[in-house]
Amino acid sequence: MSATLGATPTIVLVGHGMVGQRFLEALAERGLTATHRVVVLCEEPRPAYDRVALTSYFAGKTPEDLSMTDMEFIETHGIELFVGDPAETVDREAKKVTARSGQVFEYDVLVLATGSFPFVPPVPNKDAAGCFVYRTIEDLLAIEEYAKTAETGAVVGGGLLGLEAAGALKGLGLTSHIVEFAPRLMPVQVDDGGGAALLRTIQDMGLSVHTGVGTQEIVVDESGAVTGMKLSDGSELATDLVVFSAGVRPRDQLARDCGLTVGERGGISVDEQCRTVSDPQVFAIGECALAADGRVYGLVAPGYEQAETAAATIAADEASFTGADMSTKLKLLGVDVASFGDAHGATADCLDVVYSDSRSGVYKKLVIGRDGELLGGILVGDAEAYGTLKAFTGSVPPVSPESLVLPAGSGGGAQLGPSALPDDAIICSCHNVSKGAIRGAVTEHSCTTVPEVKKCTKAGTGCGSCVKVLGQLVTAELEAGGVVVDKGLCGCFGQTREELYEIVLALRINTYQDLLDRYGRDGAKGGDGCEICKPAVGSIIASLAPTIGASGYVLEGEQAALQDSNDHFLANLQKNGSYSVVPRIPGGEITPEGLIVIGEIARDFGLYTKITGGQRIDMFGARVEQLPLIWARLVDAGFESGHAYGKSLRTVKSCVGQTWCRYGVQDSVRMAIDLELRYRGLRSPHKLKSAVSGCARECAEAQSKDFGIIATSNGWNLYVGGNGGATPRHADLLAQDLDDAGLIKLIDRFLMFYIRTADRLERTSTWLERIPGGLDHVRDVVVEDSLGICEELESLMTDHVSHYADEWASTINDPEKLARFVSFVNAPDTPDPVVGFVPERDQIKPDLPLLSIGLRPTAHASAAEEVLEGSAQR
């Protein structure tokens, strides 16, 4: 059958990935969808989705969340999209494409956007059961299903997708290995120093890394299923599942079959207009195209630029693709990794400027020309300056190179913002948007917000790594034009969080509604507020409760309606609708009797137990109506809430100190307990973590905490603004050789000053780098009392300490408060039937597959009983 409309010129697009979708948008922007018939042949069973964010599927994103295809756009522009029906043959002489379904489409212009395919090394048994590639959503679904019966997984390839695949396997509960033939991870993006920093961080996450070895054979059992891998160094790695992520190759077979010229190493040869060199009516874009400069570009930004070039050429506009920026910024396993420009110093006669902190996994290198020109760089563990540094590439920065890599607070870090960039600096490499274009969107097109600038320029709509810089430029341009920039907390309040704190404190306002009615914006007064300001104001009121005459119990009256989901039930909500319970264990010190009580409770309620990184025991799997029953037994045994659910103090970790350790110089356990009991329940803009180390060996890792203490022979050193997690930051020394009283006084002041001046959801690490004057200013305020507020800060902390009450005990002793702890208000004795579990490793785990397909669990509700019964039989 032939499908054509005769006189109407037809554009056939083969492939509907990210680049293919961008090509369709470029056609629409030029009006070509109104003058041409547009046919799209898509091989996958779903239209274009965000392949860059593929791994986010394992973090809870659905295929629908990843979709980049607005079906209304497809229908509005009359685009004929055939999903799951790829092109099989092309007859260039007859200008026809035949699809798998048998449909034949005549074309006037053919655009090939067939992308790439995963390279699988030609090793024996590479196609065995348990071997997968990591390229499509369907690949991920297959891996997820197979992983249910596996315990160990191995990824062949330590590049971008390889690390993401390893993280996905770990997230699926598998012991994960990475096998990389090169001597370091991510060999294309980072150098040896960056690879070493990345390696340390990834190993600390519990992943095993094998570099400098190749895969020689996949070992299988009698049934043909994977049982291991033989490596080139003679060793063998036991594994149940193998993911190949050893690079990609251009999908150019369709082009080869119809006689188009391809490169020696693959890729459809095109000119600067993205026309194939063999046929001016055929274009190739994206990862299948071999550009005129002899490169196949494997990033989405160059693909977008090629899509724009092809669409412009078809519309008879002038356009060319002469190469692209290969800079990348990614977050791999929670670690920032970025490279830009000449990252490896290939330019002759260049110099390196390197900053390395192996303890925190931070590595920064800038490549500088002899004349001071910034040529490129590598950032691992801290890529905060990526947007600014990338934009300065090719020019001489206005500050010394070394100041650009030193951390804030070190005495040498430069505060160099995007306002210092020239107008021709490229801010968004995905869509090739310059600083001048962004400024023009504000000054010439009256854009006043980041979303408006995004819509006007497309900046920030690709990978998103430039959004922060984009926001800074928009604000700077508005302020330069005399526009008053709205820095209010949200649409309800024109004040910042800091200003609202001062209002609440000064006027003793103790309800959210009173604050909103008196100080909210005109349209918000008398309303219900929003999800931004309610928890923020709730936190302010809770932190000042005794001083302003409010209830310190967060579920009292109006306060309950202000809380986030975890605070609503004083427990952490888990992915299957159950809750976890974390009792406080100050300093990590616990008696055998306390351990027994926790064990008995976990056993009796069938809970999953795990030792946390903060020296506590977490119990998972409690239904909402079970929470008060569990708390009652814990409170009877002397335990209280550990506030794992709140934006408040979590833990004060400790080593054993001088009491036991032969290196200890102070009693770190006693100090940790004292501090945890002093600051427990202190509500703040974000969670707080602390630690006390008994000597400079730092076993408690105090310098990665919001406030950390290290013992010296003369007393205590106080460090502040540290942070682990996704953006590690080494804490800064605030004061040294303090006695006990002096230490506690400075911590009181520091915490209350932070609570007073930080933005909502701002950790101390971010606050310390944002606040004008940084560490020096904070030291002036809390040590030298430069603002004369230290007495007030100390008084506020004294109020908190003297009025502390355990939220669990307050709940179980009040029948009215207990009434909220039910799954169904109209059937309080009925447990939620959706909360189900299945056995795993003699404990339980959420029965998530049932939830994902909308079924109600029946037999699985007794999984905990099955585990207990099995344990009893053993």
Amino acid at 420: A
The answer to whether 699 is annotated as binding is yes
Spatial distance between the Cα atoms of 631 and 295, rounded to a whole number of angstroms? 63
Alpha helices (H) in 700-841, listed in sequence order: 740-757, 764-770, 774-782, 790-803, 807-812, 815-818
Distance, in Å, from the CA atom of 613 to the CA atom of 650, rounded to the nearest integer, reads 11
CA-to-CA distance for 715 and 196, rounded, in angstroms?
35
Task: Tell me how far CA of residue 335 lies from CA of 298, 687, 721, in angstroms.
Answer: 21, 20, 19
H-type alpha helices, 172-317: 192-204, 253-257, 300-314
Residue of 521, 417, 399, 526 whose CA lies nearest to 469: 417
Give 3-state DSSP helix, strand, coil % of the chain, rounded to 5.
35, 20, 40
According to the annotation, is 350 in a ligand binding site?
no
CB 165 within 8 A of CB 134: yes
| Helical packing angle, 774-782 and 790-803, nearest 10° | 80
SS3 848: helix
Quote the CA–CA distance of 617 and 305 in Å, as a whole number: 52
Element (DSSP H or E) covering residue 29: helix 18-29
Give me the count of residues in the chain. 874
Is 655 assigned a ligand-binding role in the annotation?
Answer: yes
Decide if 554 contacts 681 (C-beta within 8 A): no
**Cβ–Cβ contacts within 10 Å for residue 136, how many?**
18
Identify the CA nearest to 209 among candidates 244, 181, 189: 181
Q: Is 42 annotated as a binding residue?
A: no
Long-range contact pairs involving 442-445 (C-beta distance under 8 Å, separation at least 24): 442/474, 442/477, 442/478, 442/481, 443/477, 443/481
Annotated binding site for [4Fe-4S] cluster: 655, 661, 695, 699
Annotated binding site: 655, 661, 695, 699
Q: Annotated binding site for siroheme, which residues?
A: 699
